[in-house]
Structure 1
Amino acid sequence: MGFRKLLVAVDNFSASFGAFKKAVEIAREHKVPLTVINVEEALPLLPAEKMLEAPPDHFVTDDPLTVAETYAKKHGVKVKTVKKTGAIAGNIIETANEEDADLIILGDSGIKGVEKLYLGSIAQSVVENSERPVLIVRKGWMNIEDIISLAKSLEKGEKKEEIPCKYDPALVRENFKSMGTLFFILCVIYFFAAIITSKPFKNIAALEIVGLPFGIWSGIFLVISGIILTRIYINKQIGGKTQ
């Protein structure tokens, strides 16, 4: 009995893409669809932990699902991509059940000893908790130079032409004028609130309006005015850029 559906997990690093390449080979050989899952951790690893799990020289791509989909289609394999967030092993097992996969294929980073004891192993966790068969592809077993080349070409293709920034004196003067006007208005409101709450005007500041002293109301008005003026400035900037 052959396979009907496969599931492979990918991340940004080479170990997972070794497993992915093996998954593509099996899917093409058996003429079955392939589901590719990428799980983003709810609580990402610290930089030091990432260095242990996957050193920088093993980095492949920032967009593993796009690379995987492009590569699989290029080799005639029907592919479905799934993006999830949360516990990696749990989401892999859950997706395998949802997709009714006959085989889960995972890459092993190859960490051993204290590092593995500290970081744990996603592959090991899936093997121990999944009722479905799991194939582990050791790091370095598959040559993924073609996938790395594809990832680089896709990255270059996504880069947009940069528009050079031009200095426009008229625009600078207009921005300075509008910013200065709003800042002046805010200063006037601020000094009004400061004067009202000063000692010579303490009787005025103590006058109650709707249950609150006038001094408190002047402070509230200052805060609201600051928010409104800031919003006006931001809207003006956005409006200017879209014209």
Structure 2
Amino acid sequence: MFRRCKVDGVWFAEAYAHEQNVPYTTIKREGPVAGIIVEYANEVGAELIVMGSSNLRGVAGFVLGDVSEAVLRLSPCTVWAVKPTQKEMDLVVSKVRSYAKPKPVVVTPDLIPDKRLWHGAMGMFFLYMTSYGMFTIAGTLMKGLLGIRVGGLNLAIVSGMGIIIGAIIIALAYNWYAGSRDNQGKEVKNGV
């Protein structure tokens, strides 16, 4: 016997119980199904276990066995196995098909969520690297140029301090820009 409708049984049971206003609790554990059912029934002090029985036949029944039969053998309390009629099975299959199971949404993180902010940051970084590169090249190729005195200091020290101050200004400008972009995003979300 094959399943006519491949569906997550737990999802269907939860959806159906919710539709019928039946309170339920979902317990997820790993292990042999019959053993887990009996273990949980013992934990909560159940007096009755009600379950469906598919009554598998052939090789599937031989290899897998019937869970309700195993629960009946292992359980210290009463087990009520309900075998649905063909009409009931058809009803369940139509019900399963009528529910629109939400497909899991796979969210892939955008490495650059705000392209405008990214371009601003890259522009500022390029500006810093260009000034630092020019300073390094000038220091290597024109050693005499950086030795010139400006305000009592040589040009190398003044240029180095200018690059550091420029980096601080770039960082502050970037933080201000990122904050203003973040505030714009919040205003758009809030409908302002």
TM-score by length of 1: 0.37
Larger radius of gyration: 2
TM-score by length of 2: 0.44
Greater strand fraction, Structure 1 or Structure 2: 1
